[in-house]
Homo-oligomer: A and B are copies of this chain.
Amino acid sequence: MISTDAATEGNEAAALLKCARNLVDPQLRSAVESLPGSIRRVAMYHFGWEHADGSAAGGQAGKAIRPALVLAATRAVGGDPERAVRAAAAVELVHNFSLLHDDVIDEDRTRRHRPTAWTVFGVPAAVIAGDAMLSLAHRLLAEDTRPASARASARLAGCVIELCAGQQADCSFEERGPDEVSLDECLAMATAKTGALLGCACALGALYAGVEERAVGAMDGFGREAGLAFQLIDDLIGIWGDPMQTGKPVGADLAAHKKSLPVVAALTSRTPAAAELAGLYRGSMNTPDEVSRAADAVDRAGGRDWAQACAGDRMARAVHHLSRAVPDLTAAGDLLALAEFVTRRTH
């Protein structure tokens, strides 16, 4: 059912992502280009389509995982992906709205190998451009005459509220001590911050195929669990990943004292390494040596293994949800290839 040939799957997923980009980018780009002048410039920069000076850039707007999930979900339940292109563009706009605002809130300075928008255009311009991109997403859905659009819009709005709650929780974690965040809280935060939008992407895809609410909900569950698996892998990359691939410096999450999932799993492990990690988290952790020791402590405390096992468990749950929406999983090959791809990025 799920191929174990990672190379083949990677190729399959890469082809799906490219195909999604080709289908969705024209809609996405024409929506962004419809924004008023000064806002458009920030958005075009953020998407990698323009340099800071407004000249054309060939960059790609992220990996297009969410639009690809929308289209694959439509196909999995027997719909025509062409019908869901607008929804896919809306989901990608929401994702990028949240990146713009999160970068401001987290004071992150690098995104997709480039300075973040707020460092180039200022905090006000980045906040405003995010607001406009969120509204653009809703306008895309509202102007869609297909019967699914109102339910899609309601789901997307509810999802953004969940994203906001996740981001708020993430911020509150940073103000708390290293042993004051439970693993359950951390999982709930990641579900809201990452799972919700991947779930929404899959749900919108199903909605645009016109299937019944039960299947839409099951698709949401699939995306949510796959999203959590994705976040676990992303957190591992945030500690041990390759900065050439991620565009973020190694150990950035540790240096920023982020209470990511492997870190909280390690901190709550009641091991000697947990105490060592807590000590490092209470300090400034501003030298490469300290960051490296923290990464090692997460590993020795079992945070790394736990995250990888948990990612596998979440993928199993995802497939279980999927089987409720798509009884014959062979129809959901694209969805599974995408989910496997995003949860195997470290290999």
Known interface pairs A131-B134, A132-B160, A149-B150; A39-B165 also in contact (CB < 8 Å): yes
B171 touches A158 (CB 8 A): no
A104 nearest CB across to chain B (Å):
7
Instruction: Mark each residue of chain A from 23 to 53: 1 if its CB lies under 8 Å from any CB of chain B, else 0.
Output: 0000000000001111100000000000000
Complex-state Cα separation, A169 to B142, whole angstroms:
26
Q: Is A135 an interface residue (CB 8 A)?
A: yes
Q: In whole angstroms, how far apart are the Cα atoms of A150 and B165 in the complex?
A: 26
Q: Are A171 and B134 in contact (CB under 8 A)?
A: no
| Contact of A56 with B by CB under 8 A | no
The residue on B at minimum CB distance from A129 is B164
User: For window 137-167 of chain A, which residues contact chain B by CB distance below 8 Å?
Assistant: 138-139, 141-143, 149-151, 153-154, 156-158, 160-162, 164-165, 167
Known: A139-B157, A150-B142. A172 touches B38 (CB 8 A): yes
A58 within 8 A of B: no
Q: Which of B36, B127, B154 is close to A161, meaning CB atoms less than 8 Å apart?
A: B36
Contact A104–B125 (Cβ < 8 Å): no
Interfacial residues of chain A within 222-259, with CB under 8 A of chain B in the complex: none
What are 11 A-B interface contacts by the 8 Å CB criterion?
Answer: A38-B165, A39-B164, A39-B165, A101-B131, A124-B167, A129-B164, A131-B131, A131-B134, A138-B138, A139-B153, A142-B153
Chain A interface category by residue count: 35 or more
Cβ of A309 under 8 Å from chain B: no
A125 to B104 Cα, complex, angstroms: 12
- Asked if B171 and A124 sit within 8 Å, CB to CB, the answer is yes
Interface flag for A11 (CB, 8 Å): no
Asked if residues B139 and A161 are in contact (CB atoms below 8 Å), the reply is yes
**Most B CB atoms within 10 A — which of A130, A132, A134, A138?**
A138
Cα A161 to Cα B127 with chains together (Å): 12
* A105 within 8 A of partner (CB): yes
The answer on a CB contact under 8 Å between B125 and A168 is: yes
State whether A138 and B157 are in contact (beta carbons under 8 Å apart), knowing that A127-B105, A127-B127, A128-B105 are contacts in the complex: yes
Contact A164 B132 (CB under 8 A): yes
